[in-house]
Amino acid sequence: MASEIMIIFQPSGRRGPARAGQTVLEAARNLGVEIESACGGKGSCGKCRVRIESDGDSVSDPGELEVRALGREEVTAGTRLACQTRIIRDVRVFVPEESRRVAQVVRKEAGTGTVAIDPAVKLHRVKLTPPTLAEATADAERLLRALEREHGLRGLELDLQLVQRLPGLARAAGWELGVCIWRDRKIIDVRPVSEPRPLLGLALDVGTTTLAAYLTDLETGEVLVTESAMNPQVAFGDDVIARLHHVAHDPGGLAELQKTVISEVNNLGARAAERAGVRTTDILDVVMAGNTAMHHLFLGLDTRNLGIAPFAPAVHRALDVRASDLGLNFHPGCRLFALPIEAGFVGADNVAVIIAEEPYRQDEIQLIIDIGTNGELVLGNRQRMLSTSCATGPAFEGISPSHIEFGMRAATGAIERVRMDPETLEVRFKVIGADKWSIDRPPADIGARGICGSGIIEAAAEMLKAGIILPTGNMNPEMQHERVVLENGKPRKFVIAWPEETALNRSITVSLKDIRALQLAKAALRAGAEILLRAYGVEKPDRVILAGAFGTYIDKHAALAIGMLPDTDPERVESVGNAAGDGARFALLNLEKRREASWVADTVEYVELATDPDFQREYVEAMYFAPVQLG
């Protein structure tokens, strides 16, 4: 038998077995070596660059795709794409700094909003009369009669596992029981009154890039613990399209993607329970929100039709299922409520945002923008609500070098704040993980790794203000400065961080290509907003609400300066944090919110930008950086 192939990853030193014909990226996933792969392994993003340090015949020869992506000189020097390079025999691979996936800083704290407490799972206390020879009613019927007599609850269902436990439990508890009942229909737990346990629920915001879980007391409404993590599905592609492609072309793709996210939610629940000093079996109800693709992948629903016109989802309505049927390891009787979705590209996360912000109760016309990997917009008030969706994430989230050369997620070392002296063009910036500006720290201690979405927006606004870029997005041909990088005698890049200020040992720049990517993203968002305003019959909203973790960290003045938002008084622009998570939490705590969610999904009018005759014109006009009046 041939000896096992061994792969070694440096500088981590991680080593393990590999299969002949397996890609380096697949071997890295199996060994827990985190390599960036924004496109999910299709070879289009160039993010998974590695260096082969063993003999060249240890891996497959480079293909034309790699040569185009990397250049023949780099390929000759040993640089390869991990997703395209197949293992032949023992191999040693070096993963450079820029290719290592760094844990994202997930900023999805619970909001301060509250809602009336009326959860789906409630605790009812009863005292049963022990059976006698004269009155030997069965234990289960005795319990059901007590609940009807003391609480008016009739026709309740009782699971077999509870019937099995009830005789011993009732007697050990001295016939004083706490009964957990779901929707006044089904008994899901029985516990001794003398041993009180908390009644807990978990609100889930399942994002394309991040997951957030809010462990919540169903009797008080208090958020006990917030846990968050990267969505492990990013290993199969940073965006929705890459994951839909994986499912469409791999027979086991759907089960694989569902398993990864369910496993991570179980981890979040376990960590939250440990921090709160409770048991995971105390979690009796879960509410989940996510965009349409994440909703389907979480529930194991067929996603193939989401990737092709007319983008019909498998289901619109809310779903209420046993959590254990999905593999969630909480209480055996725990339920899961998946909020309804609006349309193919406007999902349950948007419904959650709406029930959290309640534009349908307002007189003023609100424009709510939830910017994540996709941009979802809602415009309206109590009279009418419109919604739409547009692709924005690759530039705003800074995740793909095919869009932003030094783009990265909001992780430690990402440049998130940029300020520039318009006269001297000197730059100061902040990186995630440090409180001080770059000019207040020794260059060697800064360690910038790239630039995230908020940093890209601020850099563009500062460059526009300083005259480095023109309103068209072109670089000023007359600009001369040591930070301006020329190519063929023309300005093509601007240095934000010098090599000694980075962990890459080379300058982090914003290029003309990056500016174009930002223009495309912000134009889609602005054009979508203008289409909604026209459809509603108003010129501008009374208020702009920025939702989501990214929306929280956008500098509204910078966003307005580059024309990303409709012309609005900055004082009328506000950030509300993770409204989707708040909406899921409100639905966890209040049954009326669940009914509102279904009403919202049926009531909001979805506007399809792709078929709007004015969208292309609006999109082209919105490419300009100067704030423009579109009409």
User: For a pLDDT cut of 90, what percent of the chain falls above it?
Assistant: 58
Q: Are 115 and 49 in contact (CB under 8 A)?
A: no
The C-alpha atoms of residue 147 and residue 128 are separated, in whole angstroms, by: 9
The C-alpha atoms of residue 536 and residue 99 are separated, in whole angstroms, by: 45
Reported confidence tier of residue 74, pLDDT bands at 50, 70, 90? confident
Tell me the fold of 5-99. Answer: Ubiquitin-like (UB roll) (3.10.20)
Q: Could you tell me the pTM of the whole model?
A: 0.81
In terms of DSSP bridges, do strands 15-18 and 5-10 run parallel, antiparallel, or are they unpaired? antiparallel
Closest to 339 in 3D by CA, of 387, 290, 298: 290
DSSP state of 133: S
The C-alpha atoms of residue 10 and residue 15 are separated, in whole angstroms, by: 9
| Mean pLDDT, residues 352-364 taken together | 96
pLDDT tens profile 12-53: 777 888 889 999 998 888 877 878 876 767 777 778 889 898
Q: How far is the first Cα of the chain from the last one, in angstroms, to the nearest whole number?
A: 73
pLDDT of 2 higher than 50? no
How confident is the model at residue 154, as a pLDDT? 92
- Scanning 438-578, the segments in alpha helix (DSSP H) are 443-446, 453-465, 512-536, 548-553, 556-561
Closest to 53 in 3D by CA, of 88, 15, 93, 83: 93
C-alpha gyration radius of the chain: 27
Reported confidence tier of residue 400, pLDDT bands at 50, 70, 90? very low
Cβ-based neighbours of 354, under 8 Å, separated by 6 or more: 360, 368, 378, 385, 583, 600, 604
Domain ranges of the chain: 5-99, 121-192, 227-338
The C-alpha atoms of residue 17 and residue 12 are separated, in whole angstroms, by: 16
Strand partners, 431: 415
Q: Which amino acid is at 553?
A: Y
Please state the three-class secondary structure of 205-227 as a single string. Answer: EECCCEEEEEEEECCCCCEEEEE
The C-alpha atoms of residue 608 and residue 528 are separated, in whole angstroms, by: 9
The C-alpha atoms of residue 399 and residue 409 are separated, in whole angstroms, by: 5
Segment holding 121, helix H or strand E: strand 121-127
SS3 535: helix
The C-alpha atoms of residue 368 and residue 298 are separated, in whole angstroms, by: 25
How confident is the model at residue 35, as a pLDDT? 84
pLDDT of 419 higher than 50? yes
User: For a pLDDT cut of 70, what percent of the chain falls above it?
Assistant: 94
Closest to 182 in 3D by CA, of 125, 126, 122, 124: 122
SS3 417: strand
Measured in degrees and rounded to the nearest 5, phi and psi for residue 628 equal: -125, 150
The C-alpha atoms of residue 534 and residue 252 are separated, in whole angstroms, by: 44
The C-alpha atoms of residue 258 and residue 445 are separated, in whole angstroms, by: 40
Cβ count near 613 (within 10 Å): 6
Cβ count near 361 (within 10 Å): 9
From residue 125, how far is each of 142, 149, 631 by CA, in Å? Answer: 14, 12, 63
pLDDT tens profile 336-354: 999 999 876 788 999 999 9
From residue 501, how far is each of 55, 322, 446, 485 by CA, in Å? Answer: 34, 52, 5, 17
CATH number of 121-192: 3.10.20.880
| Mean pLDDT, residues 74-92 taken together | 89
Helix pair 240-249, 292-299: axis angle to 10 deg: 40
* Average predicted confidence (pLDDT) for the chain: 88
Pick the CATH number of 227-338 from 3.30.420.480, 3.30.70.100, 1.50.10.10, 3.40.190.10: 3.30.420.480
Q: Which amino acid is at 478?
A: E
Q: What's the half-sphere exposure (Cβ side, CA atoms, 13 Å) at 37?
A: 27
Measured in degrees and rounded to the nearest 5, phi and psi for residue 125 equal: -100, 135
Q: Are 93 and 7 in contact (CB under 8 A)?
A: yes
Reported confidence tier of residue 631, pLDDT bands at 50, 70, 90? very low
Cβ count near 46 (within 10 Å): 20
Considering 14-18, 60-64, 132-136, 584-588, the range whose residues carry the highest mean pLDDT is 584-588
The C-alpha atoms of residue 334 and residue 540 are separated, in whole angstroms, by: 45
| Mean pLDDT, residues 181-205 taken together | 94
Torsion 41-44-47-51 (CA) sign: positive
Closest to 566 in 3D by CA, of 554, 552, 576, 556: 556
Burial (0-12, 13-18, 19+ Cβ within 10 Å), 551:
buried
Q: In CATH terms, are 5-99 and 227-338 the same topology?
A: no
The residue with tokens 């601007």 is 494
| Mean pLDDT, residues 315-339 taken together | 95
- Scanning 466-555, the segments in alpha helix (DSSP H) are 512-536, 548-553
Closest to 165 in 3D by CA, of 185, 146, 191: 191
How confident is the model at residue 628, as a pLDDT? 38
How confident is the model at residue 311, as a pLDDT? 80
The C-alpha atoms of residue 214 and residue 588 are separated, in whole angstroms, by: 10
